[in-house]
Structure formats: structure tokens, C-alpha cells
Structure 1
Amino acid sequence: MRAKLCGARMTSSTGRPKWGVREATTADIPAMNSLFAEVFGGGRPLAHDQWKYGENPFGAPVVVIAEDGNRVIGQYAIWPTPLRLGNSIYWGAQSLDTMTHPDYQGQGMFTALASACYEAAAKQEIVAVYGFPNENSYPGFMRRLNFHHAFDVHGWTRLLLPAAHPRIPRLVAPVASLAVRLFPLPRDAALRFEPLWPEEAATEALLDEWRASPGLCRVERSSAWWRYRFGAASGRKYQCVAA
């Protein structure tokens, strides 16, 4: 992240304080972390933001922030991700962590931040941006930023301990947990599963087979990317299981 200015100072018709738009630097990460806590009602470790914004093996993200004085009140960020289409690689980016402080909503900040971010991204030859907006930001992505709805992403959950689920009645909980143990998932006897990170050579061999699938556009992966994305530094407590 660089300290290059991306926009002019703005004001709203309601007489609210003026705010300016600029590219963020790594020095802004603590303020961005505080904004996340204000907007979403809960914080996340500062180390996670330092990992996300400072350690991406594909390069520094493009992050644009809005400021009222020295206070960070808005953010739009994209994360560099090489995209593979057949045998060709294109520079893309994932849109993430879009935030506007509640006191500054309705002032056009979302569109101003996104426009400045895309302008900076184009100078880095990023050709496509994709994202997974929540229900609050989805209308803005579609109407103001001209995103195309390609498909829905579905979440799948495997309950390991149904008795702990808040929607399971207390009287039914013991029976639900017993049912899971009585009906385990089918397994292939020829496969062996181990909780470990595969060696780099084994990971690259698997990815070579994955890259051979034609006609799909997806994020390019490597052993280095895999360890960065799901490693301990993310703070997400991912567990890798190798087959």
C-alpha cells in the first residue's frame, strides 16, 4: 500500500464534516482495524489485518480509505489474485472489507472509494475484480459499480457435535449426537488421511493436475499461496488434512 493521493476532499449537502480519499499505507492498518470493529460490531486481531494487507505473496493490496481529519471513516480494498483461464494468467483482484462508518452513510462514499480504488488498480494492470458481497453491499455493487452476478456461493456445514448447536432442543441433543456416530460418512479404504501440510513437491504435483482442467476461470494457486492463505499467520485456525 502506498501513500499516493487518489481523490479530492469532499463534503455533503447536509453540512457534515468534510472527508478526503487517498490510498492507504501500512501505517493505516491499526486505524482500519478499529473501523472494522466500529462497522461490524466486533473486532478481529490486528495481526490478521497485518497478514492480509502486508504479506500477500502476489503483492500488496490496493486499499483506499476516506478520512475526516485524521480519522479513518471508510475503506474499499482489493486483494491481488492471479486468475487462470486455460493456459493464460491474468492479474485480477478480490474485493473485500468494504466499510463505511455509520455516521457517514448516504454521502456517496462507497462509490467514491471504489472508483478511486479501480483507478489505482488499472495502473497496476489489474483487469478484473470479483467479490462476494453481503446482502447490505450487494445492491451497491450491482447498481453503482456495474458488477455482473455470475453465480451464488453456497455454504456447506458438517456438524461434528449436533448437541452443541443452538437450534437443537435440549431433550433431542443426546439422540442427535448418537445418530452422527452411528451413521458416519463413507470412506474409501484405499485412501489414508493425515492432519499435515504436504511437502511442496507433492502440492505442486497436485496443482499441476488441477491446472490441466480446461475452460475454467479461477484463482491461480501455488504451494506458497496455499501456505500463506491457510497458514497459522491468518489467525483463522485452519487445519490441513492430506489424503
Structure 2
Amino acid sequence: MKIELLTASTVDLDELGRLQRESFLGVADPDQLAGVQTPEYYRWKYTQAGGEARIAQIRNDNGELVAMNSAFPVTLTNGDKTTRGWQSCDTATHPSARGRGYFLKCLNALKETFDEGEVFFGYPNANSAHGFTKFGWQRISTLQIFAGIIPPFSALPKIRRIDRFGPEQDDLAARLAAPGRIMIQRSAAYMNDRYCSPQRPLYT
């Protein structure tokens, strides 16, 4: 077993995507994953304004990639204070290598790379929540997802389409920040990377 610590610019994104596809085979809808488990998707996700993602990988004795966990940097706010956060993502262990503690080994390897005061956090699904608890994380809350039909906005002149976020978004992000509320700083740079990136133009 060999643990590697890489960044977005040094990791093999084709190999990473292949491990993801093999790990989730039969677990998730292949059509849904076809657009995200690609080198292009990971290049977009791992190289945003906050900096490069870090990736912990484990190889077996034959040199084959069998496990990984990644984290990408974000700015967290708490009132007028900011700190760097690292959001865990893309946990995967090949079916042939499960049950050996590789998930926790990847998390610990990543944790060792962060500076004192930086926050390591995530939004685990039901499959990974137990592993994160063993890692020492505490559950804060359950996020509720809401989806609904948006009514036509033609009668509301204050609503307009934009192609990029600008100073108004930075002002909104500053007003949303409040003491006692730790949140990702949704600055214009963050929003443009997430929602208006030419690498992944998914949203209007």
C-alpha cells in the first residue's frame, strides 16, 4: 500500500475519473454520472479561485489506484472574520479494496497537510457519514433540499439575467456574513467559478 498526496496540477485526472466510475458502478445511475466523472469535470472542480484541490490517493502493491479522497479550498466567514476551509469531496474506494480502512487513511493524510486553524468539513451522504464520524467529525445538521417550479418573472422588472457576478455579489456576501454564522463566502469570484465558468457552463 502506498499513499500519495497530490494537487490538481499533479494528479492524473483520467485515472482519477476511472477509479470514480469503477467505485460507483451499480450504485448510481450511469447516465447521471457520465457528465461528472470526467477529467474535464475534475479539472473545473479542483482549480477554482480559492486555489488548487488536494488529493490523497492509495495504490495497491501492483501500483493500481484503489482509493482516494479530495478536498478543495474555500473561504469561510464568521462575521467580519475569515478563515480557510477545506471541503471534503469525491470519496471513492475500489470494490476490491474495501474494508481495509483506506477511507480513514486518506482523510488523515489530507488532514496532515492543513495549517492550524483551517477547517476540514464536508457534506457526507449516508454511505460515508459513518466513516466521517469515526474520523472524529460531529454532525451539525441535516441539509434539506428544496426544488420547485419558478414562476415567470416578466412582471418583476427588478429581476434580470446576468452572465457574470460582480461587485453587487460581493456586497451581498458581506451582508450575509454574521457573527455566529459560519458559512462559505459566496463572493463574486466564488460564484463565477461555480456557476459561470466557461469550463462548466451549467447555470443561468
Matching residue within 121, 143, 158 for 1:130: 121
Q: Which amino acid aligns with 1:214?
A: P
| C-alpha RMSD of the superposition | 2.3
What is the alpha-carbon distance in structure 2 between the residues aligned to residue 154 and residue 190 of structure 1? Answer: 28
Indicate if the aligned counterparts of 1:95 and 1:129 stay in contact, CA closer than 8 A: yes
Equivalent residue, structure 2, for 1:238: 203
Name whichever structure is richer in helix by fraction: 1
Partner SS, residue 24 of structure 1: strand
Equivalent residue, structure 1, for 2:6: 24
1:209 matches 2:199? no
Regions of 4+ moved over 6 Å: none
> Which string of whole-angstrom CA distances, capped at 9 and with x for unpartnered residues, describes residues 194-239 of structure 1?
232355222223233223x332110122211110011244536122
1:191 CA drift (Å): 4.9
1:45 CA drift (Å): 2.9
Partner SS, residue 120 of structure 1: coil
1:86 CA drift (Å): 1.4
How many residues matched? 192
Using the size of structure 2 for normalisation, the TM-score is: 0.83
What is the alpha-carbon distance in structure 2 between the residues aligned to residue 34 and residue 108 of structure 1? Answer: 21
Equivalent residue, structure 1, for 2:145: 155
1:24 CA drift (Å): 2.2
Indicate if the aligned counterparts of 2:77 and 2:83 stay in contact, CA closer than 8 A: yes
Q: Which amino acid aligns with 1:207?
A: A
> Which string of whole-angstrom CA distances, capped at 9 and with x for unpartnered residues, describes residues 6-63 of structure 1?
xxxxxxxxxxxxx21111243422111111111122443321111112x221111221
Long gaps (5+) in structure 2: none
What is the alpha-carbon distance in structure 2 between the residues aligned to residue 236 and residue 145 of structure 1? Answer: 35
Q: Whose radius of gyration is greater, 1 or 2?
A: 1
- State percent identity of aligned pairs: 23
Indicate if the aligned counterparts of 1:93 and 1:126 stay in contact, CA closer than 8 A: no
Name whichever structure is richer in strand by fraction: 2
Indicate if the aligned counterparts of 2:5 and 2:56 stay in contact, CA closer than 8 A: yes
Long gaps (5+) in structure 1: 1-18, 161-183
> Which string of whole-angstrom CA distances, capped at 9 and with x for unpartnered residues, describes residues 43-97 of structure 1?
43321111112x2211112210011233211101111112111111111111111
Using the size of structure 1 for normalisation, the TM-score is: 0.71
Equivalent residue, structure 2, for 1:40: 24
Greater relative contact order structure (CA < 8 Å, 6+ sep): 2
